[in-house]
Structure 1
């Protein structure tokens, strides 16, 4: 695979949609390509915002308005004006983000963008969702953000994104199985052999981005267990997944 081809895989990588061979090749490229790293962080943050969308009805005519403005949207210039390749990649980011927002409005019946515009009307729930989305985006777009992924035993796919500078982490899931009635997936920070609670996942959502509670601190790994509704002070089951936090 050529370097030019690798540059085009940022979106698929951010959505965890690459085959294993492609993912390994791209990660080797990513380790030495700063512009692709920035693009992956931006796309991952956009995907996470869409994943936090509330199920609110889109206003009449919104799709028509967005489609009508697509050709008029001016692309944001890159951070390095002297880099033509960076400009092309930044253009792809903006086009992808706009397309993703439109797809979310059309297919899901509401997006975080719409939620933001109507936050005052939606009240306390919308303000909490906005704060959560901002925290997720802050971590995913941090310059030092690093990601690790694994299968969650019998339950789907999980990824953890950590920013040591922010001292925060976000857990992202896709295709998670619904937990048994009266149970919930709980997140944990692992400090050596000690596990400390780091938040609960929404049992009704298969795809979600969860800002983990508490500081990362000296944690070396993140765990996922199945716990009674409301969570536990200490794990009561063996971890369904244990992800070593990237350095």
Structure 2
């Protein structure tokens, strides 16, 4: 298989959609290609948002439509290729990652709307739906913002995390892919690092290994983001050493 062909497999590899022989060949290539490694991490983080739509099982027709669409769109290899010469060059952090993540959120938000509809007969359905809609709109707005910047980092046990920040909106989103579940009775808590002072930015879902979290509060000039393991319900201040630290995207 040519190197040019291997470059085009990042998306399929992140979705675990490669046959065994192509997966093995791509993993050998991945060990020596920094561009493909970064792009694979970005695609893996983007798919985390889709996990939030698990409450609705799509019909078989959706799979057929998606697979048909895939055959009509050619993926541009990272770092070069003839197709890239005829297109406007966009920085990786502000192009591929932003649009891939925004596309995933748009799809997940549509499916999530169906899940909300199922609970409309409950007494507090209107309030829950309004809150969920506002959070989904804000989350999607951050990922699709023209000034959105992203930073992807490898976490423990092969997991990856992507921090997306919109300076204009002063908000941030954290996307996790493949994180191990926290110990029983514990939860992952996100923090803004205010240049040495940790400020709580919300809790992650302890039952989901891949997810997207709209971080609570404004970025407000924070230098980075940390993740700690805290008792269920969270803590006012970190009670453990960070398991991950990400600086803000440049």
TM range (shorter): 0.5 to 0.7
Aligned residues of 2:56 and 2:115 also touching (Cα < 8 A): no
Structure 2 counterparts to residues 140-155 of structure 1, below 5 A: 140-153=143-156
Instruction: Tell me the equivalent position of 2:52.
Output: 52
Aligned residues of 1:45 and 1:137 also touching (Cα < 8 A): no
- Aligned counterpart for 1:202 among listed residues 202, 205, 208: 205
Instruction: Tell me the equivalent position of 1:182.
Output: 185
Distance in 2 of aligned mates of 1:171 and 1:157 = 11
Aligned residues of 2:165 and 2:171 also touching (Cα < 8 A): yes
Q: Rate the CA distance shift 1:213–1:180 in 2: closer, same or farther, 3 A.
A: same
Q: Rate the CA distance shift 1:209–1:20 in 2: closer, same or farther, 3 A.
A: farther
Structure 2 counterparts to residues 70-89 of structure 1, below 5 A: 85-86=86-87
Give the length in aligned residue pairs. 205
Instruction: Tell me the equivalent position of 1:164.
Output: 167
Structure 2 counterparts to residues 104-143 of structure 1, below 5 A: 112-117=109-114, 119-123=116-120, 124=125, 125=128, 128-143=131-146
Distance in 1 of aligned mates of 2:247 and 2:180 = 22
Structure 1 residue runs of 5 or longer lacking an equivalent are 31-40, 76-82, 88-92, 102-110
Instruction: Tell me the equivalent position of 2:216.
Output: 213
Distance in 2 of aligned mates of 1:233 and 1:138 = 28
Question: For the aligned residues, what is the CA RMSD?
Answer: 4.3
Q: Rate the CA distance shift 1:205–1:65 in 2: closer, same or farther, 3 A.
A: closer
Aligned residues of 2:191 and 2:198 also touching (Cα < 8 A): yes
Structure 2 residue runs of 5 or longer lacking an equivalent are 16-25, 73-83, 89-98
Residue 143 of structure 1 deviates from its aligned partner by 1.7
Distance in 2 of aligned mates of 1:236 and 1:45 = 27
Q: Does 1:173 align with 2:184?
A: no
Aligned residues of 2:45 and 2:160 also touching (Cα < 8 A): no
Residue 179 of structure 1 deviates from its aligned partner by 0.9
Distance in 2 of aligned mates of 1:141 and 1:44 = 17
Deviations 1:11-55 (A, max 9, x none): 47998x99365344787xx9xxxxxxxxxx9x7997354132142
SS at match of 2:222: coil
Instruction: Tell me the equivalent position of 1:64.
Output: 61
Residue 141 of structure 1 deviates from its aligned partner by 1.5
SS at match of 1:122: coil
TM-score between both structures, scaled by the size of structure 2: 0.63
Q: Rate the CA distance shift 1:213–1:224 in 2: closer, same or farther, 3 A.
A: same
Q: Rate the CA distance shift 1:227–1:64 in 2: closer, same or farther, 3 A.
A: same
